[in-house]
Structure 1
Amino acid sequence: MTEIAHRCGFIAVVGRPNVGKSTLTNALIGTKISIVSRKAQTTRHRIQGVLTRDREQFVFVDTPGFQTRHGGAMNKMMNRVVTQTLADVDVVLFVVEAGKWSPGDSKLLGLLHDPKKTILVISKIDQLKNRDELYPFVAQIASQFDFAAVVPVSSTKRHQLDQLLDEVAKLLPENEPFFDADTLTDRPVRFIAAELIREKIFRLVGDELPYGSTVVIEQWDETEKGVSIAACVIVERETHRPILLGVGGSHMKRIATEARQDIAKLLDKPVHLEIYIKVRKGWAEKESSLRDLGYE
C-alpha cells in the first residue's frame, strides 16, 4: 500500500491594508500570533505562523498591507517585505474584503504572476449586507486572473476556513515538516509580547497618535513563578508623549493592564509589566533606525 505523501510549504497572506489578513492568519492557526486592529498598517513585519495537521504542515506568512498612498521609509520597507515574500512562497492567499475593490487591490493583483499557486480569499463575508452581490463581485475579480481557487470566508465566524485549508493543501509541495508539531510561530515570545503591547496602543490611541510608534522589550527576567518585563514605547515627537499617557496616565495604565493580561495568557504564568516612553525623532523615516529596531 502506497504511503500518503506529507505536504509542507510556505503560504503568503497578502492584501491591501485592513482587509483582514492578520485576523485570517490567527483564525487558521487557532491562536493570536499577529496583532489585529481596525487601523491600517497594523502589521509591519513578516510573521510566520505554523499549523500542523495529520499529513500537512502549513507555514503562513502574514505580511504588511501593501501600501499605495505614501512613500516613506516605513511603507517602502513594508512593500519590500510583501514583494520578497511573494517570490519565496509555495502558495499565495490574495485577500480581498467582500464587496470592496480598490486601486490598491488592482496594484497588488498586478504583482501576482503564478495563477497555479494563487487562491483568491474573499474575507468578511459576514459583513456583506446583500449576499446576492457576492457572486458578481467574485466574477469581476476572477475575470482578471485565473486563480487556482476562490474561497469566501468569515474569520470571526470561522466560516469555510477548513475548506480554505483543503484548497491550500492541494497546492503544497511534498515535504517533510519544517517545524515540530507543537510550533505555532517562528517568532520569539519577546517579539509577540512587544506586538501585543503595540496592539493595545493602536486600539486605544490609534486615532490620536500617528503611526510613528513602536515597542522594544528592554528587559525580560523569567522564572518558573513568573516574568518581569520592561518595555519601551518609542515615539517620534515630544507631543506624542501626553497623548500616549492620557489624562493622569489613564491611557498607559489601560495599555499596560490589557497587554499584561494577554502576555500572561500567552505564557501561562504571572507577568509584571512596566512600560516607559522614549522620544526618537524621525525613527520611522530612516532605514537605519528601522533596522536597529528590528524591522526587516
Structure 2
Amino acid sequence: MNQPTSNSILSRIGATLTRRSAQQNRLFTVKQVASSVQLAFPTLKLPELSIHWKQNLNLQHLVNLPRNALSGPVQEDKAAAHAFLKNIVSTEEYTLSLFDLRDIYGINLSLPQAQQYQSLEDISGSELCRDIRIISMRDFDKVLNRAIPEFKQKKAIQLLSASWLGLNYFWAPEQRSLELTCAIVYARRRELPLNKPVLVNRIVLNKSELAVLQQHYHVLAMPENAWDENSFMQYLINYRVPYARLPLLRGSHPIEVLLLPRHETGSDTLGLGLRKAGAQDATEFLLTLTN
C-alpha cells in the first residue's frame, strides 16, 4: 500500500535534483559573457570644456540622489544600489566677497540654438542677442539691471562650479542669461569692472564613497542599444541577475551605467565578463577626477 507513496516521493526528489542540475548547467562563465556579448561600449572621458554648464560632465542630478532616479525590475536591488550611490556627489557652498563677473566662464542656459556657440562673445554677436543692443553706457546699465535687478546692492548672486572643471565659474540662473552675456562682453571690451559678492555652489566627488561603491559594485558604462541587444539581455532575463540602472549626464551624449553587485555570483560574473568584453568601469573614471 505504501508503494505509490514511495514512488511519488522519489519522483519529487528526482525532479528537484533534475531542476538543480539544470540550474547548475545554466550557470555562465566570464569567458562566455566576454565572447558572446556584442556591444560597442562607450569610452568615458571628460568632454571638451564648454561654456554651457549642461554640456560638460554634469553630475548635479546625483546630489541628494532620489530613489526613483534608478531603474530596474526589482525594488530591493535598486534600494541596495541607492544606498551606495546617494553620497558619492555633494555640494560645497562658499562665498566670495568680491568677484568680477567678467571672469564668469559660462552660462546655464537650456536653449538648443545656443549650443553651437563656444564663447560668450560668439553668443552676444549672434541672432540670439539681436534685440539686446548695447551701444552706450545707458544701454549697458539697462541690460545689466535686467539681468541682475538692483545690481548695485550687495546681495550675492549664485554661481556654479565643479571640482573636475577647475576654477571655471558658471552663471547659475537660466533666466536672463542672454542679457548677462551681452553685459559681460561689453564690460570686457570697455574694461569695466563688474564686482559683486557671489555664492558658489561647487559640485564635488566624494573619493571615499566612490571607493566603497567600487568595492561592492561593478558600475559599467553601457551603450544606448544594450537594452535591445539579446546577446547581453539574455543574462539579465534568463538568469535573473540583480541589477540597477542610472543615467549619467555628459553633454549631448548622455550614457547609462549598469550597477551589478559583486557579492552575487551571477552579477559579479556578468560584470567581469562585460569588462573583458570592453565595458569601462565608471567608478574608476570618476575616481580619476578626484585626484
More relative contact order, 1 or 2 (CA 8 Å, 6+ apart): 2
The alignment's TM-score, normalised by the length of structure 2, stands at 0.26
The alignment's TM-score, normalised by the length of structure 1, stands at 0.25
- Bigger CA radius of gyration: 2
